[in-house]
Amino acid sequence: MARCFEGKTALVTGGSRGIGKALAERLLQEGAKVYVIGRSKENLNKLKVENPSFNTIQVDVSDWDQTKTAVEQIGYLTKKILSILGIEKFEEIINTNFKSAFNITKIVTRGLISAGRPGVVVNMSSVGGLKAAAGFMPYCVSKAMMDMLTKVTALELGPHKIRVNSVNPTILKTDMTKDICENEEFVHVYTSQHPLRKFATVEDVVNATLFLLSDDSAMITGSSLAVEGGYLIH
């Protein structure tokens, strides 16, 4: 194979062993300048001995500030990206939309299991977890995390007779969205994307939630119920 990464720069996280190491080695062979991030100084040193061409960066990537400082050594490749993401707002949204659901689900279902009782969990997600929306990265990511939380907890809690599903609504007409829902231009553009040509209502979401909570959905678990007027069809 031709050296198709000649003149390119690559950043590989977890690149000091396993799949990450194999990928880093292949990128190097293909001509890339390779930066390898790893937590273990010992593994990074071994990698550097094996091939001095690697640029190694020791950092625990779970530490955002430490990672930002370390990775900025690469320069233009990452400085711009890291500044755009906005760590504070991202963490706030993840904490509110995902971690809270995880925490409460854990507390409640532990109690149900201890008491030997069945139960139902319905997470309030969004179509944002099922379809990307430009400018809403943290929100969409948080809702996608919630949808996967729904699936995994449904799998794990099923043997304890606990069902877990999510409701994924589109924009609703509420007090919070009153301004945009009364904007004629927005209403025209937005509803034209929905086969039903209308906004979802709070009642639509409540009805879907009640269905998932009821025995009428006794054989449904691990599902994301989209309440979006067909928005996801196209």
- Show which residues are catalytic: 139
Which pair of tokens denotes residue 100?
């809270």
> What count of other Cβ atoms lies within 10 Å of the Cβ of residue 185?
7
Give the SS3 label for residue 34.
Answer: strand
**Largest interatomic CA distance in the chain:** 65
> Do residues 192 and 205 lie in contact, with contact meaning Cβ atoms separated by under 8 Å?
no
b/e sequence 95-107, b meaning 16+ C-beta within 10 Å:
eebbeebeeebee
Q: Which residues contact 155 (CB under 8 A, 6 or more apart)?
A: 222
What is the C-alpha to C-alpha distance for residues 174 and 171, in angstroms, rounded to an integer?
Answer: 9
Which two tokens mark 112?
């149900």
